[in-house]
A and B are shown apart, each in its own frame.
Chain A
Amino acid sequence: MLKPYLSLPLLRFILLLLLTGFLTVSCNNSNSRSASVKGDTLQGKITISGAFALYPLVVKWAEVYHELHPGVTINVSAGGAGKGMADALSHMVDLGMYSKSVSPEEQAKGAWWIAMAKDAVLPTINSQNPVLSELRKKGLTRQKFYDIFITGKIKTWGEAVGNGCAVTLQSFTRSDACGAAEMWAKYLKDNKQEDLQGLGVNGDPGVADAVRKNPEGIGFNNLGFVYQMDTRKIYQGLEVVPIDLNDNGIIDKEESFYNTMDQVMEAINKGVYPSPPARDLYFVSGGKPVNPLVIAFLRWTLTEGQQYVHEAGYVEIPPDKIKSELSKFD
């Protein structure tokens, strides 16, 4: 007959096994944050999580920084800006990557942040757009974009450029909550992502693909998904809608800087291209960082680290802004 045989030592043994398992896991966790500055060589671990939009740049930084200071390892994981913020606020990680403006709720919870690079959202259309030449000449004003993306008043391309073209206009937006859509909506008279009209497509590549497939489509994309990183030219099948910044109904010479990635980057850096839709990208942490290792890394990203920003497809922070960001450590 089968009879349960529960010996006490056995149970203890099992419990011990479970316990050691838990301890090992939690030890790992606390290890990641124990850091020390020994002499002048930095040693320890930094953990970072957060926005997908910043992941390539921060990974690049982590690699370079590890080469400079072999004692320092930086673990970067991407899981969305909100996850980065939540992890940073709960001190699960040292730093969060954050791609939109820090909300009042998050500030109330003690969020501390510094800008470390810039990115920009550009309005995109298909290169077979029915009124492409008109758009190139006249561009679109903020009001026009507002009527396309927020009110939905503009329904054809003719209405958008002011001719008789009856082709319907199809707007695309991001289905996933993201900094790009947040910034684009903010540019359109301080709205939110949930106010944007249009078919929701998943991810930056998704929107770019939808626009590429639909000649009547209009969407918005981050810099890195409009221009090819190696040739610095616009991706095949896409076009950027020039923004008529001074509302004079024509694209002036200083408003036309969309030919190559470097031209746009310069316009963003100089502030010619407005912000929003250009945006700062942040490192956030729960309260002002106290770990000297983290502070050293952050300072490095704002100084020497800036030279890697450009090649990774982002825009450097202007010098005066760097000064004000560095002063946040004092």
Chain B
Amino acid sequence: MYLLNRKQRHGVNYTWMIISLLLVAFLPFFLFSGLYLKSFLLIHDYSLTELIFSNEWRPSSGKFGFYPFIVGSVWVTLLAMIISAPICLLTAIYVTQYTRKSFLRIMHPAIDILAGIPSVVYGLWGILVIVPFISRYLGPWMGVKTMGYSILAASFVLSIMIIPFILNILIEIFRAIPGELKEAALSLGATPWQTIKQVLLRKALPGIIAAFGFGLARAFGETMAVLMVVGNVVKLPKSVFDPGYTLPALIANNYGEMLSIPKYDSALMFAALLLLIVSLFFNLVMHFFIVRYNKY
């Protein structure tokens, strides 16, 4: 019936499992060393502080300052988190504490659909809706003249992109909290809000921080949607209505055209290395919180 006997089949599957495991285990290492080797040309010639804190980006005259890109990335990401974090938290609390289970069954596919939309679609939507909204209404209302292509537009688009992502994790975290804890608080005379604030949120805190952290890491690396609305101007932004430039956008905009010029190519690899290090850092911190959460 089978080509191989029972034991042999197990052997084949076992071998494949080992191969897959090794592949996964060594992948980050390969990524890291590859990028490091490719950016060595740049790291060798410039000091790290010069690369990271210099303002001047003029590759043709040999000046590689990544500061405007780093600042742009940080602004866009943090602003997106400030917009999406409260929305996610409140939605997750409402959905898990105040609605029936059947409501969640309807909500879940809706959230999953949002999470599955390609980022270029979000970007187009940003150009069609968010950018004109900022240049025609929000900007004039705040007394600022802006073209709409700005840090703010990018963070709006980005926050909408990461909401389903964070929301899904938050809902799972709240659902994992034992119902007895809530019942105990309520039986002691606490109002629902007091229960949520003193029991639920306190218990879920590490998990909440971890969820936000994953959202942050994702937002930091988002490329296409941000690139389309952020304005791509290499300059330190003075307000959220100014255009900016992010690290992933720098790579995406220049890689195909510039990889034949060694220094430029190396600089783009260095940008990728920075991105990798930052997201690794986020992930490590979040991992720490999750480990703590699991100990409770």
CA distance A106 to B227 in the complex (A): 29
B11–A10 touching, CB < 8 Å: yes
CA distance A85 to B58 in the complex (A): 22
Tell me which residues from 212 to 270 in chain B have a Cβ below 8 Å from any Cβ of chain A: 227-228, 231-234, 243, 245, 249, 252-263, 265
How many A residues touch the partner, as a band? Answer: 35 or more
3 nearest A-B pairs in the assembled complex, by CB-CB distance: A80-B256, A200-B232, A175-B232
Residue B188 CB within 8 A of the other chain: no
B36 to chain A, nearest CB (A): 20
A5–B232 touching, CB < 8 Å: no
Residue B10 CB within 8 A of the other chain: yes
For this complex, 6 residue pairs linking A to B, each with C-beta atoms less than 8 Å apart, are A80-B255, A177-B253, A192-B60, A194-B59, A198-B233, A202-B227
- Given pairs A81-B257, A194-B59, 4 additional interface contacts (CB within 8 A): A80-B256, A105-B263, A194-B234, A200-B245
CA distance A4 to B16 in the complex (A): 12
Identify the closest chain B residue to A175 (Cβ).
Answer: B232
Most chain B beta-carbon contacts within 10 A, residue among A5, A6, A80, A195? A5
B254–A6 touching, CB < 8 Å: no
A79–B8 touching, CB < 8 Å: no
Q: Enumerate chain B residues within 8 angstroms of A83, measured Cβ to Cβ.
A: 256-257, 259-260
A183 to chain B, nearest CB (A): 13
Q: Using an 8 Å CB-CB cutoff, how does the interface string of B1-16 with A read, 1 for contact, 0 for none? A: 0000001101110110
Q: Enumerate chain B residues within 8 angstroms of A7, measured Cβ to Cβ.
A: 8, 11
CA distance A297 to B234 in the complex (A): 42
A175–B249 touching, CB < 8 Å: yes
Q: Enumerate chain A residues within 8 angstroms of B160, measured Cβ to Cβ.
A: none
How many B residues touch the partner, as a band? Answer: 35 or more
Identify the closest chain A residue to B123 (Cβ).
Answer: A202
Identify the A interface with B (CB < 8 A): 2, 4-7, 10-11, 14, 79-83, 85-86, 89, 103, 105-106, 168, 170, 175-179, 192, 194-195, 198-202, 214
Identify the B interface with A (CB < 8 A): 7-8, 10-12, 14-15, 57-60, 145, 147, 149, 227-228, 231-234, 243, 245, 249, 252-263, 265
A41 to chain B, nearest CB (A): 35
B8–A82 touching, CB < 8 Å: no
Q: Enumerate chain B residues within 8 angstroms of A200, measured Cβ to Cβ.
A: 231-233, 243, 245, 253
CA distance A106 to B263 in the complex (A): 12
Identify the closest chain B residue to A200 (Cβ).
Answer: B232
A194–B256 touching, CB < 8 Å: no
Partner of A82, one of B10, B12, B261: B261
CA distance A202 to B149 in the complex (A): 12
A199–B231 touching, CB < 8 Å: yes
Q: Enumerate chain B residues within 8 angstroms of A175, measured Cβ to Cβ.
A: 227, 232, 249, 253
A167 to chain B, nearest CB (A): 12
A202–B253 touching, CB < 8 Å: yes
